[in-house]
Structure 1
Amino acid sequence: MNASLNEIESMCKKAARGAGMSWGLAEEAGKAAKWLSAHGLNGPQLLAEQLRHDDGVAYRELAPVVCEGTWHGSTLPMCPLIAGATLSDHAHLLNTTGQILLSNVSCPQLLIPFVSGIATRLKRSLELSWPGCTLFFDSRGEVFLNNAEGLGQERAASVCCTHATAPDAKANALEGPIPAVARPDLAYLEALAYRTYVPSSESSRLLGAGAGLSDNN
């Protein structure tokens, strides 16, 4: 299905909420999917893959522990949506430590829109990297691929966000047409979104997958 950016954002926001995320985090998920799609990456597909991992898992099992060293999660891979929102909230640490390290992050591509926003807000160049992939962000949030070999990894053992100077001379801007949404991903996201239309109750909330994927629980 060919969808507009606004349709992608709306659908993905509702799907994330249906998977149990708070409305605030669901809005961030929708914006991230829209941003990725606007730059030629398949935002809905990436979000669908992540929500399949997150659905039914408690927030605390997916969130990073913010510390002076490497941020880590539980025994499960860290959710990049939660990690990205947390990274945005603690972006000031980049001005003091110069870098933020995260370990065991699933679908690291979903971090890209958050780092773009951080670069714009801090008005400085940043680099986001994980094994096999390096991205440069200028002070306007524009993204350049220095190394794209590992861009599509499902999980990264380590991710680093750090200050940067300039992209590699052979770096390519991250851009492209809006990808079509595959039918299986569309069906899955719509099924999650449908949950937001069903009147909630304590029993249905607890029985429904994704319960607890909110930092307010």
Structure 2
Amino acid sequence: MKLSLNEIEATAKRAVRGAGYPWGVAEEASKSTRWLCRNGHDGVAALAVLLDKDLACSADHRPLATNETWRGAADLCPLVTGAFLSDCAQSLRSGPVTMQRVAVPLLILPFAASAASELRGCVRVEMDGHVAVTDGDNLLCDDMLPELAERIAVHTSEIVPSWRPRSAQMNPDPESWDRLAALAHRTYAPATRESRLRGAGAGLSDND
């Protein structure tokens, strides 16, 4: 099942909202999912794993401090933590940003890419021995990342690797796609008698 990036982005946005996140987070998450898929990683599967963890409605999953190692009362949500990283991009010029216990760390990488774009250079992300590098548009990353990273360190980097080719389509894990579709369905208002009549065209009139 090959899907366009537009389809993936639209469904991801509604799925994140359906899982309880605000629309602003859903917007960023959908762009992140698209970016990962464009760079050859199954962002759909990563997002489905995250949304199943049900981290949206608790402040425990947000960073408590941004002037030292970022940590939460529980595992950090990569969507919320990633937004902090994007906002703090300029601080990477002074040294690395470190984070503790981040769920689904693949989803941090699009936000590292946003930081790289702002800095107009490359950013290197180290995750429990795994390494990813991005210049904002491209990504070079290990294919198999853990579901939880005990420690993440984000640095600026002078190394520009050979990038993988990008894609305009993705063949996501079918079960993950079905999960996102089910969550997205929560955002659709149920049909009312009035809306059904409007959609029927003729309404209550009988032209025969």
Q: TM-score range by the shorter chain?
A: 0.7 to 0.9
- Alignment partners' CA distance in 1, 2:90 and 2:48: 30
Of 76, 94, 108, 2:105 maps to 108
**2:42: which partner in 1?**
42
**1:142: which partner in 2?**
138
Residue-by-residue CA offset, 1:125-147 (whole Å, 9 max, x unaligned): 22111112112233x543334xx
Residue-by-residue CA offset, 1:127-171 (whole Å, 9 max, x unaligned): 111112112233x543334xx27x42111000000121215xxx5
**1:159: which partner in 2?**
152
**1:58: which partner in 2?**
57
**1:124: which partner in 2?**
121
Q: Which segments of 5 or more consecutive residues in structure 1 lack a partner in the other structure?
A: 200-217
- Alignment partners' CA distance in 2, 1:156 and 1:113: 16
Code of the residue aligned with 2:174 in structure 1: it is R
Q: TM-score, normalised by structure 2?
A: 0.83
- Flag the structure with larger Rg: 2
**1:183: which partner in 2?**
174
Q: 1:50 to 1:175 in 2, by over 3 A?
A: farther
- Alignment partners' CA distance in 1, 2:32 and 2:118: 16
Cα contact 1:17–1:26 (8 A) shared by 2: yes
Cα contact 1:41–1:176 (8 A) shared by 2: no
Code of the residue aligned with 1:154 in structure 2: it is E
3-state SS, counterpart of residue 54 of structure 1: coil
Structure 1 position 42, deviation (Å)? 0.5
Q: TM-score, normalised by structure 1?
A: 0.80
- Alignment partners' CA distance in 2, 1:188 and 1:53: 13
Cα contact 1:129–1:159 (8 A) shared by 2: yes
Higher relative contact order (CA 8 A, sep 6+): 1
Question: What percentage of aligned pairs have identical amino acids?
Answer: 33
Code of the residue aligned with 1:173 in structure 2: it is W
**2:187: which partner in 1?**
196
Q: Which segments of 5 or more consecutive residues in structure 2 lack a partner in the other structure?
A: 191-208
- Alignment partners' CA distance in 2, 1:179 and 1:153: 21
- Alignment partners' CA distance in 2, 1:47 and 1:174: 22
Cα contact 1:64–1:83 (8 A) shared by 2: yes
Structure 1 position 176, deviation (Å)? 5.4
